[in-house]
Amino acid sequence: MGQALAGMVAILIVLLFTQPSLAGGDEHRTLRLLLDKGIITQQEYDQAVTEEQREETREKQEDAVTKNDLEIKLGGFAEIDFVGDNTRSFEETIGNRPVLRSNTVGGANSVFQTSARSSRITFDVRAPERDGIKSRFYGAMDFLGNEPSVGSSGVSNLTFQTSPAARIFQMYFLVESPAVDVKIGQDWSRFGFMSQYSRGQLSVSATPANMFNRWVQASLSKQLRLTDTLTLTPVFSVERPPQSDGTLPSFVAGVQVAHHGLQAPYTGSSTGDISLKPLSLQVSGVGRRLEANSGGPTNPSGGQPNLSSQTYVPGWGVSSSLFIPVLPSRDGKIGHTAHIVMEGVTGAGISDMFNGLSWGICNPVCGNSTSNSGFGGATFGQTNIDAGLAAVSSQTGKFEAIRTTSMMVHGTYYLPDHGKTWIGGGYGTIYSSNAGEMTCTVSAAFCGGALRSSQSIYVRDSTYYAYAFHDFTPEIRAALMTNWVRTTYADGFNAENHRIQVTFFYRF
């Protein structure tokens, strides 16, 4: 694994430092020659480069296909990942999954992976303004759909990597009117103004403590201009229930305040365009309801249970995020700028807001005896709650939402080469104060086929990381990242994974 990664890193370094024409040397060669000869000033050079970049953007916008007055654009990117881990805990995606314990085969051995499954195709359809109303459809699909794990019957590693399942990544339509903006479809949750405060790191999907998930919703929002530079954006959305048998949707409300007089470049994802983002603060909350059957005894001799009896527990969350331009942009320049992103979240029954987070707590829930509660067993334990949201506490015997608290800080610096190169890093941690109480050791049948113990439940995931990106052209991008993830289990055991990743992108 080390030799393979060393080779990939060497390729990236050679491309980055020995190919100046790819890195932009030809793009503004005439202007650079005029600057070197003193014919134009640095300010005139910068203005000319900025105008060329704007013209390129306008040309890209004009490359749309028009049909029935609709402007249709096809886009996306190819992403080729080369990933080395010192454990076998993850596929391409780390998310908030646990590092396997070192006393397991997967936790004691390393792995090297290659993948193109994160590549994406996007469709952007815009209608002309009609009676003051603008509308847009946006769809995106990638190839990380639900698939059986490697080793399942008939699934080889070759099949898993080269025949992936396509999935809906985003699919929504947006209607903008003078009074309100309406979004309906599958997109980032409005809780935490998700995706607007993401870490623009390399690892596929977010690593621990960064909210990252998309689902169907209907939301209302509107950016209100308070002064020439200050805006206020309230949001309200009705989103998917937290479980398939849920009887109420999730409700999200929040507000974002932004100061547009202070901005810095921001790349919210590994493939995103670099754009200026203002100093901003968001505060938002989510409310939801989790439920489980509690119809009475589950053993054959315990009498007839009440089939419709349900136990309810509230789920809730509060999030706050801050974007700070620590080296703000001057006159729209990208180079020699920097920003910091901070985010904090606390709540209960909100693990699905964090990609892959389960705390090792399987579905269904279970009771603390074989006969007394109605929780557990083959019939009445089937609550259809995703892992990590709620369970029956082994200490209280009550159905409880699992508490989650996270915090992260992240920084990015854009080098003085017109934003072609940027580096960054950060830290994040996410933990639960009651996940360790959700053990289930009566029988495997009570625990969804797997016993829950302090050796399988994890109570904290932490990460720190560093990365470098470079755009050789607007289409060709490469990146290098190193990442550490540490998982703390309920019994106090710690497991660590170190990842080195090299990725090449072609954006279109």
HEC sequence for 74-125: EEEEEEEEEEEECCCCCCCCCCCCCCCCCCCHHHHCCEEEEECCCCEEEEEE
Q: What is the pLDDT of residue 457?
A: 95
Q: Give the angle 108-110-115 at the CA atoms, nearest 5°.
A: 140
Q: What is the pLDDT of residue 68?
A: 76
Across 98-111, b (16+ Cβ under 10 Å) vs e yields bbbbeeeeebeeee
Cα separation of 447 and 443, whole Å?
Answer: 7
Q: Give the angle 317-323-325 at the CA atoms, nearest 5°.
A: 170
Cα separation of 242 and 41, whole Å?
Answer: 59
pLDDT by residue, tens only, the chain of 508 residues? 665 556 555 555 555 544 444 434 444 667 767 777 777 777 777 777 767 766 665 555 556 677 778 999 999 999 999 999 999 999 888 999 999 999 999 999 999 999 999 999 999 999 999 999 999 999 999 998 876 665 566 678 888 888 889 999 999 999 999 999 999 999 999 999 998 998 888 876 678 998 989 999 999 999 999 999 999 999 999 999 998 888 899 999 999 999 999 999 999 889 989 999 999 999 999 999 998 776 554 454 555 556 667 788 999 999 999 999 999 998 889 999 999 999 999 999 999 999 999 999 876 555 444 444 445 444 444 466 788 998 878 787 778 999 999 999 999 999 998 889 999 999 999 999 999 998 877 666 555 556 788 999 999 999 999 999 999 999 999 999 999 999 999 999 999 999 999 999 999 9
422 φ, ψ to 5°? -145, 150
- Contacts within 8 Å (CB) and 24+ apart, 424-427: 424/199, 424/200, 424/201, 424/466, 424/467, 425/464, 425/465, 425/466, 425/467, 426/199, 426/201, 426/341, 426/464, 426/465, 427/462, 427/463, 427/464
What stretch of H or E contains 11? Answer: helix 2-18
Q: What is the pLDDT of residue 62?
A: 58
Q: What is the pLDDT of residue 35?
A: 73
- The two three-digit tokens of residue 249, written as one number: 């949707």
Cα dihedral 172, 193, 462, 435 sign: negative
Asked whether 110 and 87 are in contact (CB, 8 A), the reply is: yes
Nearest to 496 by CA among 459, 462, 467: 462
Peptide bond into 148 cis (omega under 30): no
Q: What is the pLDDT of residue 246?
A: 85
DSSP string, 46-75: HHHHHHHHHHHHHHHHTT-EEETTEEEEEE
Q: What is the pLDDT of residue 367?
A: 46
Q: What is the pLDDT of residue 201?
A: 84
Q: What is the pLDDT of residue 376?
A: 47
Q: Give the angle 364-368-372 at the CA atoms, nearest 5°.
A: 100
DSSP state of 45: H
